Amino acid sequence: MKKRGGTIIRKKRELHLIWLLIGNLVESTGMSFMWPLTTIYMHNYLHQTLTMAGIVLFCSSMSMIGGNYLGGYIYDNKDAYKALLVSLGVSLLALGILIFKNGWPYYPILIVINSFAIGVSGTITNSLATAIEKYDSRYVFNLLYFMANLGVVIGTLSVGFIVEISIRLIFVINFVMFALFMLIAAAFFVVPEHVKKKKMQVSQTGDKTSRRFVIVIMAILITYLMISLGYSQWQSNLSVYMESLKIPLARYSLLWTINGVIIVCLQPFISWLDEHYKINIFNKLYFGIGIFIVAFGSLIFAHTYIMFILSMVLATVGEVCVFPTIPAIVDRFSSLSEKGKYQGRLAIASSLGHAVGPLFGGIIIELFSYNILFLLMVLGVLLGEVALIICTKINLKAGERHGNHTR
């Protein structure tokens, strides 16, 4: 704040990408201390059945979906900065109580509350990323994705050592990480002034996303849901399948370390290609979805550990191409007044896939077989990609004829 000629001039606050990235790293590191342990903690420490653990995970995912929806609505219509701090405050409260009250039924209740708050804060943070005009949105989301996965690598590599010291220490570290994230958000996160002014203008004119672009976004969300349904099998039913093939659980866990390392190594190269060669964003998306189809299909023939490694490597390459690209495309095609709405829908598609996926997979395995499940995974993503290509070709060409252009 400066004083000039007796008049107080407030320094204009801007949202800087570096703080968004640091905040994302801290939050994802904290979360990755918790999510790998949920099923094990409930089964081994709280002596609950795997079915009950699955119910808690389902409720947690559904709670996060509610938070995603609310976060998107708040970003578009309310004070996003205050809501972000309130949601982080709720997370801190739940995690703080969890340090001292982590038995049954406190643990599942607090986990569900925390998931709702994370849903709100995560959607608002992603929506804030769309407000950074200094960089192309695909560059921003590539870096956010990289930092999130770097946090996962740090957290999942550390959690094994820390849990041997004390399970309570996991809750303490998670609390500290979220406290640090809240401090960063309070000090450096802000909705830029130019975005606030544009929001006021579009609220008066009733600016909405073009119907053609809405169709494209919905096709993307459906395809994303299909990928999430398939990918969630890796985090649930695949561990049981590998165990039935006499592959130790430790080797299954190693696959996720491979996943994180590939992402951290490959993502900067993909970002460099995007920046220097201006790869068509839709071609990149189609390629990544195609890799997912091949990865899911390869599971049909996976009976040895090396084949599971190959499948994970393929899935990870698809992930690197698809997951940071989708929010960038959704940002590009959504109007300013509906940025939060569609980033929220994107988070809902992912959360819904991870909520329903394990249950869907379990039913298919019990009624038929693992191979039928893998085949359905392939068909779901394949149909999604075909529908996406058709919708994109028809609606984007129609938009060009009618003079609708993306920014």
Averages of pLDDT over runs of 10 residues in the chain (407 residues) are 45 76 90 73 78 80 90 86 94 94 91 93 87 79 85 78 82 92 91 62 65 92 94 82 81 80 86 79 94 96 94 94 91 84 87 84 87 95 95 76 45
Q: Which amino acid is at 49?
A: T
Helix axes 211-234, 339-367, angle to 10 degrees: 40
- Given this model, what pLDDT does residue 406 score? 45
The pLDDT, as a whole number, for residue 325 is 92
Burial 214-240 (b: 16+ CB within 10 A, else e): bbbbbbbbbbbbbbbbbbbbbbbbbbe
Q: How far apart are the C-alpha atoms of 364 and 376, rounded to whole Å?
A: 9
Q: Go through the domains of the chain in sequence order and give each one's CATH number.
A: 13-189 (1.20.1250.20), 207-407 (1.20.1250.20)
Check the CA dihedral 10-187-119-381 and report its sign. Answer: positive
Task: Give the DSSP letter of residue 2.
Answer: E
Q: How far apart are CA 68 and CA 72, in angstroms?
A: 6
Q: Is 3 helix (H, G, I), strand (E, B) or coil?
A: strand
Residue 78: phi, psi to the nearest 5? -125, -170
Q: What CA–CA distances, in Å, run from 19 to 24, 62, 83, 317, 336?
A: 8, 29, 18, 27, 22
Q: Which amino acid is at 203?
A: S
Q: Hunting for tokens 């195609």 — which residue is that?
A: 290
Q: Is 117 exposed, middle or buried (0-12, 13-18, 19+ CB in 10 A)?
A: buried
DSSP string, 301-369: G--SHHHHHHHHHHHHHHHHHHTTHHHHHHHHHS-GGGHHHHHHHHHHHHHHHHHHHHHHHHHHHHHS-
Handedness of CA 318, 382, 392, 205 (dihedral sign): negative
Position 254 scores a pLDDT of 79
Regarding pTM above 0.85, the answer is: no
Packing angle between helix 211-234 and helix 370-401, nearest 10 degrees?
160
Nearest alpha carbon to residue 122 among 161, 157, 154, 151:
151
Nearest CA among 217, 211, 214 for reference residue 326:
217
